[in-house]
């Protein structure tokens, strides 16, 4: 994978439940992280006293965070709707020259900020709400 432009890492939301994905506008910084809990099965019989982990066990999850400025009324409204109604629509995360992660996410935090001499900003946090798929490019 070669050097990529950070603005090409996109977070898209299904706007209507029918697969109409639109980029959440105004994001300036985006981060996705994948997590997997481990299940420790170490016992007195573990070779050399080394920890053993149970393969394929534990909970897997992903989280997305982003911050930006208001640019698009439709996606701003959709983010608010998802938070206040607790919905878990599909999102697509486009990772340049890597692939697309898709699946249900819940908006777990929505923050607004502003200063008297600057633009109004927002921060958004998402947590995976089911199995995710990955499509390589």
Domains held by the chain: number: 1
- The answer to whether residue 24 sits within a structural domain is yes
Q: What is the domain extent for residue 100?
A: 6-136
CATH number, domain containing residue 49: 2.30.110
CA dihedral angle for residue 62, residue 66, residue 71, residue 74, rounded to 10 degrees: 30
Query: What was the pLDDT predicted at 10?
Result: 92
Task: Measure Cα distances from 107 to 42, 92, 98, 117, 136 in Å.
Answer: 37, 14, 24, 29, 25
Phi, psi of 48 (to 5 degrees): 65, 10
pLDDT digits (tens, 9 = 90+) for 90-128: 999 999 889 999 999 999 999 999 989 988 899 999 999
Three-class DSSP category at 15: coil
- The answer to whether residue 48 sits within a structural domain is yes
- The answer to whether residue 1 sits within a structural domain is no
Range in 10-14, 34-38, 117-121, 123-127 with the lowest mean pLDDT = 117-121
- The answer to whether residue 32 sits within a structural domain is yes
- The answer to whether residue 46 sits within a structural domain is yes
pLDDT digits (tens, 9 = 90+) for 109-118: 999 999 899 8
The closest of 95, 29, 115 to 68, measured between CA atoms, is 29
- The answer to whether residue 39 sits within a structural domain is yes
Mean pLDDT of the chain: 92
- Beta bridge mates, 118: none
Residue 94 CB coordination number (10 Å): 18
Q: From the centroid of its chain, how far is CA 32?
A: 5
Query: What was the pLDDT predicted at 3?
Result: 75
């Amino acid at each position: 994978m070669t050097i990529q432009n950070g603005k090409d890492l996109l977070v898209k939301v299904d706007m209507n439940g029918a697969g109409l994905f639109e980029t959440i506008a105004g994001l300036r910084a985006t981060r996705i992280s994948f997590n997997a809990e481990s299940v420790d099965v170490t016992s007195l019989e573990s070779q050399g006293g080394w920890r053993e982990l149970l393969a394929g066990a534990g909970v897997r999850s992903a989280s997305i965070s982003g911050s930006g400025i208001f640019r698009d009324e439709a996606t701003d409204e959709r983010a608010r709707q998802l938070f206040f109604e607790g919905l878990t629509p599909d999102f697509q995360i486009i990772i340049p020259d890597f692939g697309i992660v898709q699946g249900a996410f819940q908006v777990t935090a929505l923050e607004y900020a502003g200063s008297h001499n600057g633009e109004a900003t927002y921060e958004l946090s998402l947590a995976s709400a089911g199995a995710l798929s990955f499509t390589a490019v």
